[in-house]
Structure 1
Amino acid sequence: SCPSSSSHLLKMAKQNSPPLAEVVKRVFEQQQSQVSDIEKSKTVLFQLQAKCQELEKEMNSILLETKTTEREIHLQDDAIEVTQYQCENLEAQVRVLYSENLKLRCDAERVQEEFEIILARNNEYREKIKEHKHVFWEMESKMPVMIELAKKKAVVEELKTKKEELMCDLQNPEGSVIKQVQEEITLLKSEITTLKDVINKKTDLLEEEKKKHAKLRKEIEVSH
């Protein structure tokens, strides 16, 4: 029964198995599919490798930027420390200046108070001096010598006034003194003209008398 059953199975296998050409075709197609998958995988691999290189470049660039940033941060930290130190020094100086300013303000107020006290004393002293001067002036003005001096001063002022009036008259052609002098000059000129006329007339008469005397002398000489 066993040999018959195995032969039966072989027959069934031969009946169910495809032809060889179809098997070869299927194998070829599978190989082509595998080759295509491999090519696709290679393409994807190349793309991934290129992407990986780009990412590595970006990462290196980022690392450089990070180092540069860290260096700048360190520099900024140093600058911040220096600035903080300077700020602390300035704050200390401000506190000192504020303290000195308060002291100066107190000193200024004290000096102002002292000045006002001194000024009040000076004003009081000045008023006393004025009173003493007034009393002394009243006493001095009643002394005989001062009375005489006041009279002399009044005379001097009067003479000065007259002198100024005379100076004004001399400078002003219409002044009273100039006018008086001009009138006197006019009178003198008139008198001089009159005297000249009289002298001329007397001279003419004298010449006529001389001529008469000469004529008479000749007549007398002729008669002798």
Structure 2
Amino acid sequence: MPGNKERECQRILGEALAKQDTSSLTDAVEQVAKQQQSQTSEIERQKKILFRLQNELHELEKQIASVSEETKETERQIHQQDATIENGKLRCENLETQVKSLHTENVKLKFDIETAQEDFEEHMIRYNEYYAKIKAHKDSLGEEECKQSFMIELHEKRDLVKKLKTMKEELRQDLQNPEGNRMKQVQV
């Protein structure tokens, strides 16, 4: 720009010399001074704009750095969340495998329970049939025994034996106890 100023000044000076008869040298110098003042104010204005733009550029660079850090942090969080999601998927797959295994085992156990229940019911039916046969046989034997005279005698003799055993036990206790009822009766 300084080269441009000098050229402009020389051009104006050259014009002024050419127009010497219409204007004076003073006018030419004043015109050059005004031109320089105008250029100086334009340069100052351009410097202010440049300074403002440099400040804006600096602020934008700060914002870019901040956004870059935020982007890195966001990417880091995304990677962590991806890892967490992957772990969650693996756990879900493991749980699904366990659930399938447990379901298979439950089906097998239900089948085993049904089989055991059927076996139990068959055994209960056979037991009840056997029990009914034994009871019927026992009842018929009991009726036959009651009808026979020697069985009646046998029952009477069994009752007599029980009574005699009871009396024997009472006598033994009275003998061991000198204050007993039978001993007193004997002494009187």
TM-score bracket relative to the smaller structure: 0.5 to 0.7
Deviation at 1:72, TM superposition (A): 2.8
Question: What aligned pairs does 1:99-114 form with structure 2 within 5 A after superposition?
Answer: 99-114=111-126
| Gap change, CA 1:103 and 1:19, over 3 Å in 2 | same
SS in 2 for 1:125: helix
TM-score, structure 1 as length reference? 0.55
State the TM-score, normalized to the length of structure 2: 0.64
AA aligned opposite 1:109:
E
Following superposition, the deviation at residue 38 of structure 1 comes to 0.8
Query: For 1:155 and 1:20, how far apart are their aligned partners in 2?
Result: 164
Task: Give the alignment partner of residue 80 of structure 1, picking from 92, 113, 120.
Answer: 92
Aligned AA (2:49):
D
Percent of counterpart pairs with the same letter? 10
1:139 maps to which residue?
150
1:118 corresponds, among 121, 127, 130, to 130
* CA-based RMSD: 4.1
Equivalent residue number for residue 217 of structure 1: none
The structure with the largest alpha-carbon Rg is 1
Q: Following superposition of structure 1 onto structure 2, how do residues 55-70 of structure 1 map, counting pairs within 5 Å?
A: 55-70=67-82
Counterpart of 2:14? Answer: none
CA distance in 1, matches of 2:117, 2:152: 52
Deviations 1:32-53 (A, max 9, x none): 1111111111111011111111
Aligned partners of 2:126, 2:35: CA distance in 1, in Å? 130
Deviations 1:133-161 (A, max 9, x none): 3234x334459xx99x79x869968x859
Equivalent residue, structure 1, for 2:4: none
Compared CA separation, residues 92 and 56, structure 1 to 2 (3 A):
same
